[in-house]
Structure 1
Amino acid sequence: MRKNYSGGNASHSKKPQTQSFEVKEPEELMKFLIASLPHKNRNNIKTLLKKKQVRVDGKSITQFNHLLKPGQKVSLDTAPAPIAKQMRGISIVHEDKDLIIVNKNAGLLTMATEKEKRATVYSILSNYVKEENREAKIFIVHRLDRETSGLMMFAKSEEMQELLQESWKHTISERTYLAVIEGKLEQPEGTISSYLFESSVFKVHSTQDPEKGRHAITHYSTAKSNEEYSLLKVNLETGRKNQIRVHLQDLKHPVIGDKKYGSKSNPIGRLGLHAWVLAFEHPVTGKKMRFETSVPGSFLKLF
């Protein structure tokens, strides 16, 4: 599982030491770093990338499959970049001039509400982009529930936000969640289809009446199970509010820790839902991109 970064100011009294390597042939960054740093394993290198300690020709790179070209210089800082230390509850998985992909912890809101003003993914990222440019802004493309962890996408301009939201169904090729549910399903895989509507007390309900709600389709398959719990891979065909939680309640196997939608157990002290994989075609470059996070350790301990 990814670790949080602690707050606090980084010391500027001493410049971090740097190792440098020259690229001799075209190669993915991860393969290059594994060859250049034989004393470090893949997980060590992922941590260096996440903490913005790897630079290519002076620019910080966090994506492990970044393609290197001959003649480029790869630099490795022995200390994390100061901004990386200040990120609390999220880690940046990918960043380019158009968008940012982050992995958020459970318990963190996407953005503030009238009732809740504490730190949010939006406020943390807003502060982050303003470090380089005080006029910079970020824009929410989609949201995760507070208690859901995992991958989220933000745009760096209003135009990019609109482009992503308008082309979402065609741009996104995979959105896979991991859900830990109560019990074992009679059918280990299947599809749930219903119409969802929200009540006046902000609870989402499921119906087969198309006049009452918006159509929602959820595909699921069982990855692990025992007598008490099952770990499901869940793919969304539509992205409605609380869709996975409501549909798994429909199956009489609610997500653990989800008291709102019928769960009676909370063995890990949080909602058992994680946005695991996000794959899409970059709306500007056309490049196919795929991001996958680690499976939360608390999920695996149940099996």
Structure 2
Amino acid sequence: MSNENQIKPKVAPRVENPTPVQETYRADSEAPLLDLLMRKSSRNRTAAKQLIASGRVSVGKWSTTRATEMVREGLLVRVHRGVPPMPFHHPKLEIAWESEAYVVAYKKRGLPTVNTAHKNRQQTALYLLSQHYKKGEEGAKLFMVNRLDRNTAGFVVFARSVEAKELLVKEWGRRAKHQIFIACIEGQLKEKVQLLSASSDENSLAKTKLITAEVKVNKSSRNGQMHIVQIDVVGARIFSLRKLFGDNGLSILGDVRSRSQIRTDREIALEQIGLELLIPGEREPRHFQRPYPTHYFSWLRLDKEEQNNW
């Protein structure tokens, strides 16, 4: 049989393993992975071979299942608690970045972050991602750090332990450098750039939440009653941008609860396109971005007063 007709063995994809690290070894000389693991971990040949074949071992940045892989001097070999999960696929949710401690995901509108309505628990970002990570690590859990409304697309952050969650939640004000949203707003904005503020409706026994955002007008309708705006929320947890605009006599297009005059089939014209976040343990903030929704500009034509002038 010619070499061309031979069936080549399948090789596991080279992916990062985000599950917690159980053991770490540094190669003091070049050697096959199997030999290095046996020597460093005191495992016998069979146990070391089975461990590598399980997919729980990574060399440098990448996981491997090849016992014969040569490990260069100085490289780190890590044994993880779980195997790297298969690529995650969902029409309304994608993983933007992940580490041993945190997961940043982008969710589309129509998918709730968590089960606040006590129904359809299986259709939340938290549940879908939790099930994904449990496939690679038995007992894996995720904990919500921030939340976006069902009808708001944007970045949501989850922690992989209670300790990681509490740290980021406590320090969110200084670590969430910028949270950038784009919206189509109905109402009158007097300034091209202005600060808007709103407070929560919590009872007096709890601390009042406050949200302040810089709102910059990118373009307005000719009548001046509709605007495409960029919203920059700094140093605050977002409890509701709907309330932010509602308390200031404005409404997001399609948000009938805030007296929007236009219905958009359950869609509201609000989505997050940027998040600048300083992850605990890292020196520089990470930047997560999405394309600018240029189709928003076409909504300015929905200004009823403007239509009457055409």
Give TM-score, length-normalised by structure 2.
0.63
Indicate whether 1:189 and 2:177 are aligned: no
Answer whether contact 1:179 1:232 (CA < 8 A) is retained. yes
Question: Within 2, Cα distance between the matches of 1:18 and 1:195?
Answer: 49
What is the CA deviation profile of residues 272-298 of structure 1, one whole-angstrom value per residue up to 9, with x for unaligned ones? 111221112221133321111123354
State the match for 1:143 in structure 2. Answer: 147
Letter in 2 for 1:158: V
Letter in 2 for 1:117: N
Q: Is the partner of 1:142 in helix, strand or coil?
A: coil
The alignment-based identity, stated in percent, is: 23
Question: Within 1, Cα distance between the matches of 2:115 and 2:11?
Answer: 36
Question: Within 2, Cα distance between the matches of 1:115 and 1:137?
Answer: 19
> How much has 1:125 moved relative to structure 2?
0.5
Letter in 1 for 2:211: A
Change in 2 beyond 3 A, CA 1:59/1:186: farther
Q: Is the partner of 1:144 in helix, strand or coil?
A: coil
For structure 2, the residue ranges without an aligned partner over 5 or more in a row are 1-8, 15-59, 65-74, 76-83, 301-310
Indicate whether 1:110 and 2:113 are aligned: yes
> How much has 1:212 moved relative to structure 2?
10
State the match for 1:45 in structure 2. Answer: none
Q: Is the partner of 1:302 in helix, strand or coil?
A: helix
Answer whether contact 2:85 2:135 (CA < 8 A) is retained. no
Aligned length: 224
Equivalent position to 1:282, from 279, 284, 288: 279
> How much has 1:301 moved relative to structure 2?
4.0
Question: Within 1, Cα distance between the matches of 2:276 and 2:200?
Answer: 25
Change in 2 beyond 3 A, CA 1:285/1:239: closer
> How much has 1:185 moved relative to structure 2?
2.2
Answer whether contact 1:268 1:298 (CA < 8 A) is retained. no
Alignment of 1:1-303 (within 5 A): 58=62, 83-84=86-87, 86-118=89-121, 119-183=123-187, 185-197=189-201, 213-227=208-222, 229-237=226-234, 238-242=236-240, 244-267=241-264, 269-296=266-293, 298-302=295-299
Letter in 1 for 2:151: E
Change in 2 beyond 3 A, CA 1:130/1:274: same
For structure 1, the residue ranges without an aligned partner over 5 or more in a row are 1-13, 20-55, 61-71, 73-80, 200-210
What is the CA deviation profile of residues 31-62 of structure 1, one whole-angstrom value per residue up to 9, with x for unaligned ones? xxxxxxxxxxxxxxxxxxxxxxxxx96459xx
Give TM-score, length-normalised by structure 1.
0.64
Question: Within 1, Cα distance between the matches of 2:10 and 2:292?
Answer: 35
Letter in 1 for 2:168: L
Question: Within 2, Cα distance between the matches of 1:125 and 1:103?
Answer: 11
State the match for 2:46 in structure 1. Answer: none
Change in 2 beyond 3 A, CA 1:285/1:194: closer
Q: Is the partner of 2:252 in helix, strand or coil?
A: coil
Answer whether contact 1:257 1:269 (CA < 8 A) is retained. yes
CA RMSD of aligned residues (A): 3.3
Letter in 1 for 2:90: M
Answer whether contact 2:186 2:251 (CA < 8 A) is retained. yes
Question: Within 2, Cα distance between the matches of 1:197 and 1:235?
Answer: 22
Answer whether contact 2:88 2:94 (CA < 8 A) is retained. no
Change in 2 beyond 3 A, CA 1:123/1:164: same
Question: Within 2, Cα distance between the matches of 1:249 and 1:183?
Answer: 10
Letter in 2 for 1:197: D
